[in-house]
Amino acid sequence: MTRFAAPIAEQIWDMKYRFKEADGTPKDVTVEDTWRRIARDLAKVEQEPEVWEDHFYAALEDFKYLPAGRITAGAGTARSVTLFNCFVMGTIPDSMGGIFEMLKEAALTMQQGGGIGYDFSTIRPKGADVHGVAADASGPLSFMDVWDAMCRTIMSAGSRRGAMMATMRCDHPDVEDFIAAKSDPARLRMFNMSVLITDPFMEAVKADAPWDLEFDGKVYRTVQAVDLWNRIMQATYDYAEPGVIFIDRINAANNLNYCETIAATNPCGEQPLPPYGACLLGSINLARLVTEPFEDAAVLDEDALQELVATAVRMMDNVVDVSRFPLDPQAGEAQAKRRIGLGVTGLADALLMVGLRYGSDEAARQTQDWLRRIARAAYLASVQLAKEKGAFPLFDAEAYLASGTMQAMDDDLRDAVRKHGIRNALLTSIAPTGTISLYAGNVSSGIEPVFAYAYTRKVLQKDGSRTEEEVVDYAVNLWREKFGEAALPDHFVNAQTLAPADHVKMQAAAQKWVDSSISKTINCPEDISFDAFKDVYMQAWDTGCKGCTTYRPNAVTGSVLSVAEEKPAGDAPEVITSSDVEPATPHGDVIYMSEPLDRPSELEGNTYKVKWPDSEHALYITINDIVLGGHRRPFEVFINSKNMEHFAWTVALTRMISAVFRRGGDVSFVVEELKAVFDPRGGAWMQGKYIPSILAAIGGVIEQHMIATGFIAGEGMGLKSDPQAQVVGLDTSRGQACSSCGQYDLRMVEGCMTCGSCGYSKCG
């Protein structure tokens, strides 16, 4: 009998977390093997490993505790990868040598599978003097372009591209360029970006006061604070970036403000970290802890919660000792402070099960109470660990107790910390849980509302055919099991029907008892007015949030899979089909066709020569296009070379690419996949650019051909138009296709476009 609550859960496990040999042979035969592998690895540092292995297994069993994906995929595999999800890198020196040393560290970290965050505020602004060379500085944005190019060439462990976060202070002279950077869709695509907002700046905004932009004590110019704020708001209204991080509030509440200063976060923003800080993440699945769901006696089992939290804290603390680290300073930072980030997932489902409407005042109060209980249990468990194993090395009792978070803790807990110390400097964080939530049976993600009650996805079968499969929210599925097709109660709401103010209310309720931060997306309707949109951010500031990320679907950002309309209470649970999904661009992405295009007798095409350095023979790449509706789109590819070493893989490659092209759709993702292939033997410099592999060079040729024929808008950009839509006459009302699996199932999850079918996330 399967432990998986839904077919998609088993598919995610097989694709993402199941330990396999290099040839694909499963080492984890069942999901129980996966749980046992993780439990055994994390228990090996205990004095009684067999005892704790069983405790850890019990916590993992039935998806009650969900370690972050890198732990689930990597623990106990003996692979040389880090179990930490992401890092904030060292402070960037304002010198050429220092900048490129930081670039090297970033590359080494991303090679092991870690996402990274950087504060670029430490680099002098564009036009500033560069002493000793009689030149002007190029500014931080130019170096961010270098980071962006590096990220494109490196594939993270497990075929996941690295994710990056860039921050810049609101008083940096180049902050206006930083704010406007994402208006160019081809620039800085590998970055999430956020402005570090200070308390004095928010005071200046409210007072309509002037604001100095300065660096190293020199004021470069003065602007009106409200004008700069409006620039930030307009950019995120139009392009969904930059986000906003209330950095002074973060530092004031930090338990370690006596020994560190934070200026950056990990890529999704839930972990503000000091230089070389690492985020270690895991989530309590609240949906699995509700007893008698949907009944009058439905309640979260608080005794089970407390026990589960204590076990999870111990497991996470052990990760610090068993994990590898890309860099020695990262290991030193983690071991000195033993920071962990225990959070939750399935919150919205749990609220539904106990009869509460997400976004209501009562749901906010219940959320705050559950998070308080989790924080208290986590801190008490860490005190017990300190009694047994010792406090974190940089623990200073009086300084620690005087920090913002600790001042709100109960007196008995403060007394225990004062007497025994605490093992982990910070303990709570709410992370993006898009993929692990699917793995746990499609529970609601993090503290987000239910995205959709149900939707359909196409599943590729072994014989090449596709079948349709319904993906149902965990709570909705439980309702169906208990009550059949009875109407959903009125308190069932989803992300599409929720007011932005309700999103903020829930984030603020959770933030009160989270000592790090929260990754959450506040969904805004496309037709929200600019003034109402700005009010969302001001509400986030006024209610104590540490940051704010919104998503407003439009022609630039693209629409995500969404429910067309709210069904009345008497209707059955909504199933999303292709007609319920909004187009991503004014033209609409080209949809996949049920049958491949037939080949005309003649095609237009071009042949390109690629001479790879140190190779005796050149590659000749022919790309033929089909003309539909007066527009050219790629149809087939041929690669020829006299070098027989390449014969087999070039034939296979051309057949696969041509098969993809003939199916139609937005095939520009083929370029991105090829350009991201990294050859461990090294790449080559070609025409002034570093190309990480021969395959990347082929991808670049295909991309330039697509640009020349007008199929895509430019390097690193998507479709320029939709020539297929008018010709085929099929419904084009779909969102963007996932670049990993091709499914039209992208949605915004905690600030990152995430595929509901395969779990692929822009943020890694």
Question: Is 230 noted as a catalytic residue in this protein?
Answer: no
Answer with the residue of higher pLDDT: 23 or 19: 19
Residue of 254, 266, 494, 523 marked active site? 266
Residue 272, pLDDT score = 96
Residue 40 has pLDDT above 50, yes or no: yes
Residue of 86, 151, 170, 268 marked active site? 268
Residue 119, pLDDT score = 97
Question: Is 266 noted as a catalytic residue in this protein?
Answer: yes
Provide the token pair at 250.
Answer: 């973060």
| Percent of the chain at pLDDT exceeding 70 | 84
* Residue 526, SS3 per DSSP: coil
Domain residue ranges in the chain: 86-128+137-265, 604-733
Place of tokens 């040729």: 701
Residue 641, pLDDT score = 81
Provide the token pair at 321.
Answer: 């000792």
Is CATH 3.10.20.600 the classification given to domain 86-128+137-265?
A: no
- Mean pLDDT, the chain, rounded, equals 85
Residue 717 has pLDDT above 50, yes or no: yes
* Residue 323, SS3 per DSSP: coil
Residue 737, pLDDT score = 58
Query: What are the C-alpha distances in Å from 224 to residues 205, 228, 541?
Result: 8, 7, 19
Query: What are the C-alpha distances in Å from 78 to residues 86, 290, 367, 521?
Result: 20, 36, 39, 35
Buried b (16+ CB within 10 A) or exposed e, 409-424: beeebbebbeebbbbb
Which residue type does 117 have?
A: G
d(CA 644, CA 379): 63
Residue 190, pLDDT score = 86
Residue 242 has pLDDT above 90, yes or no: yes
Residue 396, pLDDT score = 97
d(CA 591, CA 581): 12
Residue 463, pLDDT score = 62
**Which conformational region is residue 10 in: left (phi greater than 0), alpha (psi within -120 to 50 degrees), or beta?**
alpha
What is the rounded average pLDDT of the residues 429-444? Answer: 92
Residue of 270, 636, 673, 750 marked active site? 270
Residue 723 has pLDDT above 70, yes or no: no
d(CA 497, CA 523): 10
Residue 504 has pLDDT above 60, yes or no: yes
Q: How far is residue 229 CA from its own chain's centroid?
A: 26
Ranges of beta strands (E only) in 120-233 are: 129-130, 135-136, 155-156, 160-161, 164-169, 191-197, 210-215, 218-224
Residue 640 has pLDDT above 80, yes or no: yes
Strand 550-551, strand 522-523: pairing: parallel
d(CA 81, CA 75): 9
Question: What is residue 62's DSSP assignment?
Answer: G
588-629 pLDDT tens trace: 333 333 445 667 777 888 899 888 876 777 888 999 988 876
326-366 pLDDT tens trace: 999 999 999 999 999 999 999 999 999 999 999 999 999 99
Q: What is the pTM of this model?
A: 0.79
Residue 567, pLDDT score = 40
Question: Is 268 noted as a catalytic residue in this protein?
Answer: yes
